[in-house]
Structure 1
Amino acid sequence: MKVKRYVVDDLPQAVQMIRSELGSDAVILNTKEIRTGGFLGMFRKKRVEVIAAIDEASRKPAPRPAAPTKPIVRKSEPSEESAIPAVQLPNAAVRERYARSTGTSDAPAVRTSAVPSAASAVAVAVPAESPSKEAPERGAFAVPDDPRPARPVQAGAGLAENPDTASLLTELRSMKEMMVKLSKQQTFRSMPDSVMNWSRRLAEQGVEAPIIERFAEEVNDRLGTEGADDESAALSVAREVLLEWLLPSAGSGINSSTRIVHFVGPTGVGKTTTIAKIAADQSLTHHRTVGLITSDTYRIAAVDQLRTYADILNLPLEVVFSPSEAQRAFKKFEDRDLVLMDTAGRNYRNELLVSEVNSMLSPGEHAETILVLSMTQKYGDMKSVASQFAKYGVTRLLLTKVDETDSYGSILNLALEYSFAISYITCGQTVPDDIRPFDPNEWVSRLLGEPAYA
């Protein structure tokens, strides 16, 4: 028996190494977590120690029976004509000889049987209906018996094993995809220039390709043949379509019935400044008593920044480090009309960090969570973060730093893909002025580049 020890990062890595080195018959005897490396006993890395073994005798392949050197003929009742040797001929030759011997123009249906040999397997064609008790007629051929038990043939197994067939299927799939793409391009080419111009405008704004295709088809259908060349009509229809898409995303800000609002989002999107703007607006304009909570203890001076805003607005602030402390802080602010909670900015493309921040939040009918994203981010990064929080039921969105970009396609992408309700838009650093509710009419005009918002 051969025993070997592996020290790896995780168990799947060990399994792969064991299979490649010891074979698939190896067994794992023991697994254990260990810590290696480090400096002065600190910063040691967690590893996994795996002990595996293989029986050397089991690795020797069993001897295979020698292939028969002579074909075995199935015998029926003894007769002179029954001792016809098994003949291995191509399929076409068998049919032709059978037709000549029987005097018929068409050979009967045939079945094929794979006959293994030492070199290769040869397909032998035989008549489908051959006598079982009587000797075969002249021109009919007996099938050699396979000494090994027959294995069931799965449908499509030959196609998968044949490399030529597999490459042909791959080529057919690629041709199908190319034809679909060409069909879409041909549809786009057949659209009027007015529709194409607004589609290009949305592409420049960063709108996703599937949304642009949907937009072009819908605008073209509504224009019809009469207004296809009318630029003003195309603009009117384009505005109508985009407005219908963005109207469901118009949020209502913070409702008067809401008591607790959590703000979550990645690093550097402006959560702390946004909370100060909303706290000032709710306190000074709506005359509500506001309390502030922060769990952003990872970033240097993050607590001091929010404390400065709280002192200016004369609002109480609580700093929490764990879910239990967060619950005590919420209970402490039971007499407040509104509680705003700031969370730490992390790499929220990692689902573990999303679940960690979710444990700090206070559930309830009068609580809501707002995802804060910056318009200066790439849409791919925004999409990754949004999909993680959408799993936990976050449906409200706040977009910051709109004044720092000229591309607004991410608004349309997020609204259509995740059905977010956009509560606020921020467009500057001034507290509390540079924040306003989301207005679909304004952002349709920005998407289309109309002069009032260009």
Structure 2
Amino acid sequence: MKMKKYTAVTMTEAMSKVRADLGDDAVILNSKVVYTKGFLGLFKKKTIEVVAGMDKYETPLQPVQPLQKEMISSVKKEEVVSSELKKELSDIKMLVQSMQRPVETKKYTEDIESFLQYLRNHEINEELITRIGDELFEHVNEIDSNKQSLSYRQIATQVLKEALIDVPFGGLSYQKKYINVLGPTGVGKTTTIAKMAAHAVLQKKKKIGFITTDTYRIAAIEQLKTYAGLLQAPVEIVYNSEDFTKAMETYKDFDLVFIDTAGRNYKEVKFVEDVKKLIQFEDNVESYLVLSSTSKEKDMETIIEQFSSFPIEQFIFTKADETNSIGSMINLMIKYNKGLAYYTDGQEVPEDINEASVDSLLKLLFKEYEDERSS
């Protein structure tokens, strides 16, 4: 039997290597999880080690002529032997597989499982949950008595911070003049713009204006005009690219201009293309995609992918107070390598908006967990 060892990050990847090398008839003889030391003994790197084998039978090459008579005279005999050999090999393979099935290398404690279930309830994806579970398992089973004991939340926080390390957090940079806010209908986009604009006026003392391209809904225009009136800011209504150019000229002496795009069903490509034709995405424009945290993660993925050709700076998540699915926000940020500018948690303007940080996001994720522990 031909045997070979394979290493990979996941079992799926290891199996792919086995199939590519040995074929579908390969037998898994052994598998185990191997850890390499990480920083201060924490956050060890996990690899899967698999030993696979394959029955190998080769017939030496012989000249054709000497074999012809032998093949003719013994064909029936070979058919019988071949049939018996295949059956025997099949029986052996089944026996080996039954004896050498991979065994579970670890079993989480009830406390760890309970904590991981909390993360599942908040829709953290299984890959992250596995990483967190492995770290918790290693920490709980650490023999070194001098090692500082960390809480489950602290360990999970470190894993999630590591996963989010490359995505930007924080609100408006105030380095670009035009703030373009995109998003589907029903996510609270206009109210979010009003909150951002109010902070720019009241805290940063900026001279601001508004542009709206949402000419499909009269109510949306009136809502924006109401907010603009409270902030003593003008509103320009734009129907086409020429109007947009004129509005930019009108606001040439302003500090910031907030652009409220039409709320449409952006699962349809034609509506996304309409936005591209209308708005000038140039160096002086900062774009944000607004999503409702109450939406299904798959639906949000569809919207994000429709806007993949846009220069989106960061996400803004609304209605964080109406959902427990904070994990979906984290999953999407990691998957699309996009940061978080703000999250909103109510309808009050300008109060219910929060400039995001990794700490505030994880505090939001673990709020219910901490409430349960303190009660």
Normalised by the length of structure 1, the TM-score is 0.57
Unmatched 5+ stretches in structure 2: 1-58, 73-96
Q: Which residue number corresponds to residue 160 of structure 1?
A: none
Aligned partner of 2:142 in structure 1 is 225
The equivalent of 1:400 in structure 2 is 318
Q: Does 1:281 align with 2:204?
A: no
Per-residue deviation, residues 295-345 of structure 1 (Å, max 9, x unmatched):
001124111111111112110100011122112211221110001000011
Distance in 2 separating the partners of 1:446 and 1:453: 14
Amino acid at match of 1:212: I
Question: SS where residue 259 of structure 2 aligns?
Answer: strand
Looking at structure 2, the residues matched to 436 and 453 of structure 1 have their Cα atoms a distance apart, in angstroms, of 24
C-alpha separation between the residues in 1 aligned to 2:284 and 2:143?
52
Match of 1:37 in 2: none
Partner of 1:48: none
In structure 2, the residue matched to 1:382 is 300
Counterpart selection for 2:169 from 251, 258, 281: 251
Q: Which moved more, 1:268-277 or 1:346-355?
A: 346-355
Aligned amino acid, residue 308 of structure 2? A
How big is the shift at 1:140?
8.4
Inter-CA distance 424–417: structure 2 relative to 1 (3 Å threshold): same
Letter matched to residue 320 of structure 1: V
**Which structure has greater helix proportion?**
2
Whether the 8 Å contact between 1:207 and 1:410 is mirrored in structure 2 is: yes
Work out the CA distance in 1 between the residues paired with 2:141 and 2:261. 51
**Which residue type is aligned with residue 283 of structure 1?**
V
Q: Is the contact between residue 194 and residue 234 of structure 1 (CA under 8 Å) also seen in structure 2?
A: no
Question: How far does residue 367 in structure 1 lie from its aligned partner after superposition?
Answer: 1.2
**What SS does the corresponding residue of 1:305 show, helix, strand or coil?**
helix
Distance in structure 2 (CA, Å) of the matches to 1:363 and 1:336: 18
Indicate which of 321, 326, 340 corresponds to 2:239.
Answer: 321
Residue 310 of structure 1: aligned partner: 228
Aligned residue number for residue 114 of structure 2: 197
The separation in 2 between residues aligned to 1:280 and 1:453, in whole angstroms, is 35
Distance 1:453 1:394, change over 3 A: farther
Separation in 1, partners of 2:341, 2:307: 16
Provide Cα deviations, 1:168-189, integer angstroms capped at 9, x if missing partner: xxxxxxxx9xxxxx96x935x5
Q: Give the one of 121, 125, 131 matched to 1:208.
A: 125
Q: Deviations over 1:197-232 (max 9, x none)?
A: 32211111012222322332344456553389x995
CA gap of 1:377–1:231, structure 2 versus 1, over 3 A, is: farther
Q: Which of the residues 184, 204, 211 maps onto 1:293?
A: 211
Counterpart code for 2:176: T
Decide whether the 8 Å contact of 2:264 with 2:271 is kept in 1: yes
In structure 1, list runs of 5 or more residues that go unmatched: 1-106, 111-126, 142-175, 177-181
Give the residue type in structure 2 aligned to 1:395: E
Q: Which amino acid aligns with 1:208?
A: N
CA offset digits 1:232-280 (Å, max 9, x no partner): 5433212222233345445221112121111111110011111111111
The residue aligned with 1:451 is 370
Name the CA distance, whole Å, in 2 between partners of 1:336 and 1:227: 61
Q: 1:227 to 1:242 in 2, by over 3 A?
A: farther
Matched AA of 2:335: E
Does residue 1:236 correspond to 2:154, yes or no?
yes
> Are residues 235 and 428 of structure 1, via their aligned partners in 2, closer, same or farther at CA, if it must alter by over 3 Å?
closer
Equivalent residues, number = 287
Query: What letter is aligned with 2:370?
Result: P
Is the Cα contact below 8 Å between 2:288 and 2:316 reproduced in 1? yes
Quote the offset at 1:362 in angstroms. 2.3
Distance 1:278 1:232 in 2: 38
Q: Work out whether 1:129 is the aligned partner of 2:48.
A: no
In 1: Cα distance, 2:372 partner to 2:265 partner: 33
Relative to structure 1, the CA distance from residue 215 to residue 356 in structure 2 (aligned partners, 3 Å threshold; closer, same or farther) is: farther
Question: Highest relative contact order (Cα 8 Å, sep 6+), 1 or 2?
Answer: 2
Distance in 2 (alpha carbons) for counterparts of 1:262 and 1:439: 21
Secondary structure of the 1:451 match is helix
Match of 1:395, SS state, is: strand
Q: Report the TM-score, using the length of structure 2 for normalisation.
A: 0.68
Given that residues 254 and 423 in structure 1 are in contact (C-alpha distance below 8 angstroms), is that contact kept between their aligned partners in structure 2? yes
Q: Matches of 1:241 and 1:334 in 2, distance apart? A: 46
The residue type equivalent to 2:313 in the other structure is T
Q: SS of 2:104's equivalent? A: helix
Give the superposed CA RMSD.
3.2
